[in-house]
Amino acid sequence: MTGARPQTATRDKKATKERLLNGVGAILSRQGFGSLGINAVAQEAGVDKVLIYRYFGGMPELLHAFGQSSGFWPSVAEVIGEDPHELMRLSLADRWAVGLSRYAAALRRRPITKEILAWEQIERNELCEILRDAREKWFVELMAHFPDDEAATDADLISTVLLVVGAIHYFVVLSRLQGDFSGVAVDTDEGWDHIDSVILTILQRTFTADR
């Protein structure tokens, strides 16, 4: 019986941390950043607020953990696939188009993330910045899988990709309330197939074979 206690404690700790992370997501998606606080998260998770300090250190650390969780943001593996070398065998335009398509699909699979991205458009505080910093670190981690790719430091490519990412975020947020954007169905797989093809065309026309 004694040997089982550490395992039980570990399971309980893991479950409680998961409940707290889920609580952050639930509050952010419903009420935005202004309603996020120690007491609100603890109440949402159904645990004592002291556990937030015990397991995370405080609200900023909890939000940072949430920003790194796969429940909120896509994993790098979702974007690059199981074998990064497979992407590297594609042309510059094609590999970025594939990655961006996977990125968009991963965001669309996360209803809570859609809501949080929407709140970020109208709210700005230190908690928003924590999630933004987490995403920037995510991008650095993504690019670290391609250390020999000269495109990783190409300013024109990065700028183009960021513009496309901004458009993806806008369409993902828009799809929550409105299914159509000037004739493009942003809430259907067919509509996103069309968006993916447009992204590929943009990248192919921007980055020619001799780059």
Per-residue pLDDT at 152 = 62
CA-to-CA distance for 30 and 175, rounded, in angstroms? 17
Residue 102: both structure tokens together: 């996977």
Which strand (E) or helix (H) includes residue 184? strand 184-185
The SS3 assignment for 185 reads strand
pTM of the model: 0.85
Angle between helix 189-206 and helix 92-108 axes, rounded to 10 deg: 150
CA-to-CA distance for 117 and 114, rounded, in angstroms? 5
The SS3 assignment for 1 reads coil
CA-to-CA distance for 24 and 33, rounded, in angstroms? 10
pLDDT, tens only, 131-187: 888 888 898 888 888 776 666 667 777 888 889 999 999 999 999 998 899 999 999
Q: Is the dihedral of CA 196, 130, 67, 139 positive or negative?
A: positive
pLDDT, tens only, 23-60: 999 999 999 998 899 999 999 999 999 999 999 999 99
Closest CA to 116 of 172, 167, 76: 172
Closest CA to 21 of 3, 42, 39: 42
Label residue 57 left, alpha or beta by phi (over 0 means left) and psi (-120 to 50 means alpha). left
Domain boundaries, the chain: 4-65, 76-206
User: What's the one-letter identity of residue 50?
Assistant: V
pLDDT, tens only, 63-118: 999 998 988 999 999 999 888 888 888 888 898 999 999 999 999 999 999 999 99
**How many residues appear in the chain?**
211
Topology at the third CATH level for domain 4-65? Arc Repressor Mutant, subunit A (1.10.10)
Per-residue pLDDT at 1 = 46
Which carries the bigger pLDDT value, residue 141 or residue 20? Answer: 20
Asked whether the predicted pLDDT for residue 209 surpasses 80, the reply is no
Instruction: Mention every residue, 6+ apart, whose C-beta is less than 8 A from residue 121.
Output: 173
Instruction: Mention every residue, 6+ apart, whose C-beta is less than 8 A from residue 49.
Output: 38, 39, 41, 42
Closest CA to 118 of 29, 23, 27, 25: 29
